[in-house]
């Protein structure tokens, strides 16, 4: 079996995706594409990647790629993904999948028609405690959900008042905290408890003035904080909060699903000592208090070098999932359909904020 050839678009987080694929046997990362060689060339040198491109189409044409990882600003996801699919490559595309649900649907449809594997790195899903929570809830013993509480707080790049970035520019990002951090939390909620059927949202731009690296003034035009109430299939209410300007640990996630026969809750911080696995607590009817549960490590990560951050461990598991799906000729998860369902909620929340009303996420079919 010849090695799978991987090309990566994006020299920031893309370098971490490249390193994750490099840890897998039978996989070669052969090309890295960046907007300029300023970041791409040093990253490629550090990772031992021979080919460096600043033209994405040239990378696709010249590199004979089996897999393309796309880690670029959101406004490039749609075009780059369609080009990779057109070249017959399997695709990892960063979250949020697209600028809106229409683009996300087109990407899912194209991938399904071409028969390529696809994955979106909602990395909190790969936290051991969250996967254990999924297993507990999936067996049905907790009964239907009563309500869910979700919080994802992020100290934006270490400083809530930090510099302007493309993530705060609607023309590049499509949304702010909803897509950048909220997409992770929405996906985990839907994976554990089912689809959201309506939302009523409020967003805020708490830091209205920032500066670009050259010190010129910029005015963010997407939300840095979002709160919404929602409803799950079956009627259970949801409270949801996501922010990229929290004075908190760098990245902190909490989800609790309270059901008829008990509750399952996970809390995790990406940069604290107990972050790699997360903290899982379970309470069943008759218990006097929630009890901690130990979550088993993710399959396939036992041989990783010590000292990796939780996100790096999750990325290794994501790369493993996509490569295994390619080799086993099966769908990868979470795929573009999962990401589309998230994007539909994001679109509904933005519409709700704009119109001041409850909005039901639109549901699209793959080949419709």
What's residue 195's pLDDT? 97
* 104 lies in the same domain as 133: no
pLDDT tens-digit series, residues 45-66: 999 999 999 999 999 999 999 9
**Backbone dihedral region for residue 28 (phi beyond 0: left; psi -120 to 50: alpha; all else: beta):** beta
Tokens 């702010």, located at residue: 176
User: What pLDDT, in 10s, does the model give residues 215-269?
Assistant: 999 999 999 999 999 999 999 999 999 999 999 888 899 999 999 999 999 999 8
Residue 276, domain extent: 125-308+344-349
Dist. CA 18–CA 29, nearest whole Å:
6
- Helices then strands, counting H and E runs in the chain, come out as 11, 16
Say yes or no: 208 and 81 in one domain.
Answer: no
Are 119 and 130 in a shared domain? no
Q: Angle, nearest 10°, between helix axes 101-114 and 336-355? A: 170
* CATH number of the domain within which 321 lies: 3.40.50.720
Q: Is residue 177 part of a domain?
A: yes
pLDDT of residue 330: 98
What CATH number corresponds to the domain at position 189? 3.30.360.10
Residues 91 and 187 in one domain: no
- Tell me the two tokens of residue 128: 């051991």
User: CB of 50 within 8 A of CB of 74?
Assistant: no
Same domain, 161 and 98: no
The answer as to whether 238 is a domain residue is yes
- Judged by average pLDDT, the poorest of 144-148, 157-161, 271-275 is 271-275
Residue 365 lies in a domain: no
Residues 109, 205, single domain; the answer is no
pLDDT class of 12 with cuts at 50, 70, 90: very high
Three-class SS of 134-173 = HHHHHCCCCCCEEEEEEEEEEEHHHCCCCCCCHHHCHHHH
Per-residue pLDDT, 311: 85
Question: Please, what is the average pLDDT of the chain?
Answer: 95
Own/partner long-range contacts of 21-30 (Cβ < 8 Å, ≥24 apart): 21/67, 21/69, 21/319, 21/323, 22/47, 22/48, 23/304, 23/316, 23/319, 24/319, 24/320, 24/323, 26/1, 26/323, 27/3, 27/319, 27/323, 28/3, 28/4, 30/5, 30/6, 30/63, 30/65
């Amino acid at each position: 079996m010849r090695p799978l050839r991987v090309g990566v678009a994006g020299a920031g987080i893309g370098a971490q995706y490249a390193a994750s694929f490099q840890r897998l046997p039978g996989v070669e990362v052969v090309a890295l594409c960046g907007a300029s060689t300023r970041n791409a060339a040093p990253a490629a040198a550090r990772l031992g990647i021979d080919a460096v491109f600043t033209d994405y189409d040239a990378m696709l044409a010249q590199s004979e790629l089996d897999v393309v990882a796309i880690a670029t600003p959101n406004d490039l996801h749609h075009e780059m993904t369609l080009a990779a699919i057109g070249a017959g490559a399997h695709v990892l595309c960063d979250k949020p999948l697209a600028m809106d649900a229409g683009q996300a649907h087109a990407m899912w449809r194209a991938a399904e028609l071409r028969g390529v594997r696809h994955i979106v790195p909602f990395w909190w899903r790969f936290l051991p405690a969250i996967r254990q929570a999924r297993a507990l809830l999936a067996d049905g013993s907790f009964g239907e959900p009563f309500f869910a509480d979700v919080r994802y707080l992020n100290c934006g790049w270490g400083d809530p008042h930090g510099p302007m970035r493309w993530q705060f520019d609607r023309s590049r990002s499509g949304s702010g905290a909803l897509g950048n951090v909220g997409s992770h939390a929405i996906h985990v909620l839907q994976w554990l408890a089912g689809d959201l059927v309506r939302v009523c949202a409020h967003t805020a731009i708490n830091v209205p003035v920032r500066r670009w690296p050259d010190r010129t003034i910029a005015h963010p035009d997407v939300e840095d904080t979002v709160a919404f109430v929602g409803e799950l299939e079956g009627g259970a209410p949801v409270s949801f909060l996501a922010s990229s300007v929290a004075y908190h640990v760098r990245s902190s996630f909490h989800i609790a699903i309270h059901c008829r026969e008990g509750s399952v809750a996970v809390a995790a911080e990406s940069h604290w000592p107990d972050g790699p696995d997360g903290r899982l607590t379970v309470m069943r009817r008759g218990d006097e208090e929630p009890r901690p549960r130990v979550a088993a490590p993710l399959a396939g990560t036992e041989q990783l070098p010590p000292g990796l951050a939780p996100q790096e461990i999750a990325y290794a598991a994501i790369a493993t999932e996509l490569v295994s799906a390619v080799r086993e000729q099966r769908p990868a998860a979470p795929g573009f359909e999962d990401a589309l369902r998230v994007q539909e909620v994001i679109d509904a929340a933005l519409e709700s904020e704009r119109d001041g009303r409850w909005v039901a996420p639109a549901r699209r079919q793959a080949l419709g």
